Structure formats: C-alpha cells, structure tokens
Amino acid sequence: MPNLSANLRIVRLAGHTLAGVLTVLLLFPFLDRSEREKRLVRWAGRLLAVVGVRIAVKGRRPAVRGGGALIVANHVSWLDIHVIHSLLPARFISKAEVRNWPVIGWLADKAGGTLFLERTRKSDAKRMNEVMAGHLRAGDCLALFPEGTTSDGRALLPFYPGLFQPAVAAEATVWPARIRYLDAAGRYCHDAAYYGDMSLATSLAKILRAGGIVAEIEFLPVLDARGLGRKELAARAESAIRATWAADGRGSGPDTDASLRAGSR
C-alpha cells in the first residue's frame, strides 16, 4: 500500500507540475503581478500537499508590504523554497546552476522571479548585491539561505555575512526563520533532508515514501538593518535562529557544525 500511495503521488506531482507550466505559459502574460503572486502561493501550497507535506507556522508571519523585506532561513531541503512560497510571494536568491534544471529551473525563473547568482565569478557578487538592494528599495520581498548550502536540519551552519550587504545598503527589515521537518509524532524527520551527495530523485522518492511529513517554519522577531554592518546583521540573524535549537534542548556547537559542513551540499 505505501508503494501504491507513493506512485499515486508521483502521478499527481507530474500533473501538478504540468499545470504550473501551462499556467505560466498561457496565463501569466495576461495577469498583473498581484494575481501572479496569488497563483504562485496556491501552486506551492498544493505541491506540498501532493507530496504529503503539511505546513505548521509558528510566530508572526512577515509583513512584507510597503517596504523591502529580506527573509533568511536555515536550509534543509529543496522543499524549503515551496514552504516559504506557500505562505507569501518572495524572490529567492539561487545559484545559477538551478536555472538549467529541467522544468524546475524554468519555473523558478519565469514563475518565481528567482535571482540567479554565478558563484564561480567573484564579480557577479557585486552585481547581485546591487540587484537585490534595488528590489528591496522598491519594496520587494526577497528570501535566501545564508548558510550557502543545505544540512541535515539538526543544527545550523555559519552564515555568510556578504549575503546581508543588500539589506544593509537598502536599510531593509530582515526576518529570520527557522525551518525543520517532523514526522507525524513531532519527532525529527530525516527523510525531508536533501544534502551531501543525495540526488534530487532520491530525495523526492524518500519524501513520497515517508508521507505525513510536517514542515514547521518559525518566524522570529524582525531585525532592523539600519545602523548595522553586514557582519553584525548576519550574526544577529544567525544567533536568533541558533537559539531555537537551544530552546529545543539540543544545541548546535562548533563540532556539530563542522561535521554538518563536511557532509552538506
């Protein structure tokens, strides 16, 4: 029966993805930004339901209208993007390689408005900082994962301060968020993690077989970037998210961080 359920989810996922592609091709050119964003949020929420993931929200959801906002979260899985998108429209910052992923890269570009960074070119970081700062000044909501890679979700990797420079330049608000994946009993769920040498197909298969996964996202108090340097802003965001592990009674010391860094994507 579990195999049958997983196979049915694959069929439904394929249909849902196709529906998304057709919506972007046929409807998006005729829709205003607000309507496109509403459809993106609904599509992401439906995708999570199709793969058997339920959302649980803690804390106050970001108020992203009327001023630039940057959401920063720990990175566990490819599901993270859809978890955030299911709650609010945000432009993600992603490595340029994602743009070349079949279907997924195209949807990220055309539907999600993802901003792609060429990580192999140092000069591209300056360009991206200017682009991000411009979007924040225009009142857009951006989202990124300042660890720079994924972990297994049991601890937090150090944040890269450079990723916070656009928020400093635009004097934007920063919303730290903690993402974790739990099973139906509320325990840590390893099946959702996508890190190390794992392929996307393997990750998807594990998620579909598991079923009943809960994606918990906790929005923490907002940080004001005004008057802060990027290092201090990054440190405050990292400290806020790291404290959630301490609240769980698990902590995340340097030794744990080092081992996760060695096995992360």
Query: Any idea where the domains of the chain sit in the sequence?
Result: 2-258
Whether the Cβ atoms of residue 116 and residue 96 lie closer than 8 Å to each other: yes
Task: Provide the b/e sequence for 44-70 (b: ≥16 CB within 10 Å).
Answer: bbebbebbbbebeeeeeebebeebbbb
pTM above 0.95, yes or no: no
- Position 28 scores a pLDDT of 93
Q: How many residues does the chain have?
A: 265
Whether the Cβ atoms of residue 56 and residue 215 lie closer than 8 Å to each other: yes
| Torsion, Cα of 162, 165, 168, 173 (10° steps) | -80
- What is the CB neighbour count within 10 angstroms for residue 152? 19
- Position 125 scores a pLDDT of 81
Whether the Cβ atoms of residue 86 and residue 55 lie closer than 8 Å to each other: yes
Where residue 263 falls among pLDDT bands split at 50, 70, 90?
very low
Pairing relationship of beta strands 213-219 and 173-182 according to DSSP bridges: antiparallel
- Position 65 scores a pLDDT of 63
Which has the closest alpha carbon to 162: 126, 117, 114, 138?
126
DSSP reduced 3-state for 188: strand
pLDDT tens digit sequence for 178-227: 999 999 889 999 999 998 888 888 999 999 988 789 999 999 999 988 88
84, two tokens: 């955030």
Give the H/E segment covering residue 57.
Answer: strand 53-58
Where residue 256 falls among pLDDT bands split at 50, 70, 90?
very low
DSSP reduced 3-state for 139: coil
pLDDT tens digit sequence for 32-75: 999 999 999 999 999 999 999 999 999 988 776 656 899 999 99
217, two tokens: 């996202």
- Position 4 scores a pLDDT of 54
**Alpha-carbon distance 45 to 243, whole Å?**
28
Pairing relationship of beta strands 223-224 and 173-182 according to DSSP bridges: antiparallel
> How far is CA 180 from its chain centroid?
11
209 CB-near residues (< 8 Å, 6+ apart): 2, 3, 6, 191
> How far is CA 232 from its chain centroid?
22
**Alpha-carbon distance 161 to 159, whole Å?**
6
Give the H/E segment covering residue 182.
Answer: strand 173-182
Where residue 251 falls among pLDDT bands split at 50, 70, 90?
very low
259 CB-near residues (< 8 Å, 6+ apart): none
Assess whether pLDDT exceeds 90 at residue 231: yes
Whether the Cβ atoms of residue 39 and residue 141 lie closer than 8 Å to each other: no
pLDDT tens digit sequence for 81-103: 999 999 998 999 888 788 887 78
DSSP reduced 3-state for 254: helix
Domain 2-258 sits in CATH at 3.40.1130
